[in-house]
Amino acid sequence: MQLPLYQIDAFTDHIFGGNPACVMPLTEWLPDEVMLQIARENAVAETAFFMPQGDGFALRWFTPEIEMDLCGHATLATAHAIRTLHAYSSSSLQFYSRSGLLTVDFEEDRYTLTFPARKPLPAALPTAIQESLDRMPVAVLQARDYVLVYETEADVRNIQINRQLLDRINLDPGGVVITAPGEDCDFVSRYFTPQASIFEDPVTGSAHCSLIPYWSERLQQTTLLARQLSDRGGTLYCTHEGDTVKMAGYARTYFTGICQLPA
HEC sequence for 120-177: CEECCCCHHHHHHECCCCCEEEECCCEEEECCCHHHHHHCCECHHHHCCCCCCCCCEE
The answer on 88 and 143 residing in a single domain is: no
What is the spatial distance between Cα 122 and Cα 139, in angstroms, rounded to a whole number?
8
The answer on 156 and 103 residing in a single domain is: no
What is the spatial distance between Cα 96 and Cα 194, in angstroms, rounded to a whole number?
28
Encoded amino acid at 247, one letter: M
The answer on 136 and 106 residing in a single domain is: no
What is the spatial distance between Cα 141 and Cα 27, in angstroms, rounded to a whole number?
40
The answer on 185 and 109 residing in a single domain is: no
The answer on 194 and 81 residing in a single domain is: no
The answer on 131 and 220 residing in a single domain is: yes
* From 28, 46, 65, 151, the catalytic residue: 46
| Domain span holding position 140 | 121-244
Judged against a pLDDT cut of 90, whether residue 243 lies above it is answered with: yes
Q: Is the dihedral of CA 193, 199, 204, 208 positive or negative?
A: positive
pTM of the model as a whole: 0.91
8: domain CATH number? Answer: 3.10.310.10
Structural domain total, the chain: 2
The answer on 138 and 111 residing in a single domain is: no
> For residue range 32-89, what is the model confidence (pLDDT) as tens digits?
999 999 999 999 999 999 999 999 999 999 999 999 999 999 999 999 999 999 988 8
The answer on 108 and 134 residing in a single domain is: no
What is the spatial distance between Cα 93 and Cα 16, in angstroms, rounded to a whole number?
26
The answer on 102 and 178 residing in a single domain is: no
What average pLDDT does range 131-145 have in this prediction? 97
46 classed as catalytic: yes
What is the spatial distance between Cα 23 and Cα 71, in angstroms, rounded to a whole number?
12
